[in-house]
Every structure is written in C-alpha cells, then in structure tokens.
Amino acid sequence: MSVLAQLLAIFGASAAIVSVASITGFVLKQRRAEPDPFVENFNARTKSWWAILALFALAFIFGKAGVIILFALLSFAALREFLTLTYTRWGDHWTLLAAFFVVLPVQYLLIWDEWYGLYSIFIPVYAFLLMPVISAMRGETERFLERVSEVQWALMITVFCLSHVPALLTLDIPGYEGHELLLVAFFLIVVQMSDVFQYVWGKLAGRRKIAPSLSPSKTVEGFVGGVLSATALGAALYWITPFDPWQAAALSFVIAMMGFCGGLVMSAIKRDRGVKDWGWSVEGHGGVLDRLDSVVFAAPVFFHLVRYWWTV
C-alpha cells in the first residue's frame, strides 16, 4: 500500500469513528425529553472532533510544512492559555513577548531545519538561561523565582514538548523513508484514542476514583480499560509504522501511560489555579491544552525511544 493510500485509510477510519459518535449523540439526544448536560457536552465534543480531523487533514495535505505550521499554531494557543494562568508582572512584559514571538518561532524553525542538536537544547538551555535575564534587567524582584520558573515551565510544556510531534518527521528510520507522516498519525491516534477510551470506559464502568483530589472524572476502571484498549489499538496499527506488532504495542503502552500522567499533572495545575479548563476555544473540551495535555507528556518520550532504537 502506498503512503497516500495508508493515510487515506487512517483518515477514513477516523472519520468513521467520529461518525459513530455523531450518530450515538443524535440518538441519545432524541431519546431524552429534556436537554441533558452530558449529551449536550458529548455532542459538542463530537462536533469539535470533526473540526480537529479537518484541521489535521488540511495540514497533512501540505506535508512537513503543514504539520510544522499546525503545531506552531497549537503551541501558540497552548502557550497563551498556560501563561494566562501564571503570575506575571509588568517586569515580565518583554520576557513574555520574547516567549511568543522569538522562542516559539525559532524552535519550530529549528525543527524545520531538522537541527536536532539545537532544537533539543534550545529551550532547556538557552531560553532557560536567557529569559530570566530579560526579566532581571527590568529590575522587578517581587516573586522573581516563581515568575521565571512559570515562564520556563510554560515554554517547556507548550513549545518544547509539543514540538516533538512534528520532530518525528525529522527521524531517519531505515526502510521507512517517505512514511514519516504515518508515524505522526500513529502517535496522535494512539494518544488521543487513549483519552477517548479512558473517557468511554470511565463512563461505562467507572466506579473507583483514581485521583479524587486532582480530577473527579478519572477512575481506575477508565485508566486500566483505556490504557489496555489504546495498547491493543496501537498493536493493530503496526502496519503503518516501522515496528512489529509487539513493538507497536509496547510503544503504545508507554504513550498511553505518559498521556495519563500528563492529564494528572495538568489537572493538578488547573486545580491550584482554580479553573476547570485551560481555555474555551475547543467547544466541549475546554481549551487547546485540555486536548493536548496527554500529547505534551507522551511526545518527547515516544520521540526519544524511536530515535534511540530505530534510527541510524
């Protein structure tokens, strides 16, 4: 099967799954006499999934450039959501401008340039050391360490970690040349479907809360069912990857576990800041970061595992 045929098959299958969700939501809505908040939210989520699918299809048509631009924009949206919830003072103004309009574009240009040696240290080393200097030069010292730490955290999570998704396109895997878009598709499907499986298992069989102080909706049953389902799905998708079914399963397991951890950590931050969602731009889901919390934690780990064992 050609790369194009495989991509069409993947997008077709995704569209089929969202169609099933649309029909389910429609039937649920018909059955309820009065508007039910759960059904309303379910339908809003499904509607957003159509938009997400369309957005990714559009990006994939333009290949490497499309995917890099899409993730740069997602980083931008995620960064503004994250920084909105951090404590900043006027003394951080130039630092924040630099985060949005220098650090973020440079990181994605380095990915475009496939300069692994620099894009993997640019934010952890150079931004880490230089950004606090900008804040320090403006002379405001109140809660200084907290302020610079939060800006660094924001950049690590929303730019550095997220940029490892398009960075998958830069890996040279022998015998997989030209198929890199499929590796991105594989990763995104496993991590997003892991979230969906956890949601579905949690709704259908969820009894025991797994982290009651962090998130009221995460259950042991949802976690176990979700991770195992995502692992099985990943194994079934081995044919679009450079992996054999067992390797695909193992990597999917790691992706799902990291994704779950991302959800926990990001929930803890939201809890502390007194909000339910990161933002409001993705109807039914909350903010962009509510949809990407699992992606940011799984992407760098998946990237480095593949890079270490599969590239030359």
Query: Which residue, 215 or 281, is less far from other proteins as judged by CB?
Result: 281
**Least spacing, CB of residue 155 vs other proteins, in Å:** 14
User: What does the alpha-carbon distance between residue 256 and residue 227 come to, in Å, rounded to a whole number?
Assistant: 5
297 residue type, one letter: F
**Residue 279 interacts with other proteins (CB under 8 A)?**
yes
User: Could you give the string, one character per residue 64-103, with x where binding to other proteins holds by CB under 8 A and - elsewhere?
Assistant: ------------x---xx-xxxxxx-x--x--xx--x---
Which region, judged by CB under 8 A, interacts with other proteins, from 64-72, 172-180, 250-258, 267-275? 267-275
- Residue for token pair 């576990």: 257
Question: What residues contact residue 233 under an 8 Å CB cut-off, 6+ apart?
Answer: 189, 190, 193, 197, 252
Query: Which residue, 83 or 235, is less far from other proteins as judged by CB?
Result: 83
**Is the Cα torsion angle 234, 239, 243, 247 positive or negative in sign?**
positive
Write out the E strands in 196-310: none
- Residue for token pair 């320090």: 136
Judge whether 21 and 11 are in contact, CB under 8 Å. no
Query: Which residue, 84 or 311, is less far from other proteins as judged by CB?
Result: 84
Q: Which of 62, 126, 246, 280 binds other proteins (CB under 8 A)?
A: 280
User: Could you give the string, one character per residue 97-126, with x where binding to other proteins holds by CB under 8 A and - elsewhere?
Assistant: x--x--------------------------
How far apart, in Å, are the Cα atoms of 275 and each of 188, 239, 246, 268, 269? Answer: 26, 41, 40, 10, 9
**Residue 285 interacts with other proteins (CB under 8 A)?**
no
Please give the residue ranges that form the binding site for other proteins (CB under 8 A). Answer: 76, 80-81, 83-88, 90, 93, 96-97, 100, 273-275, 279-281
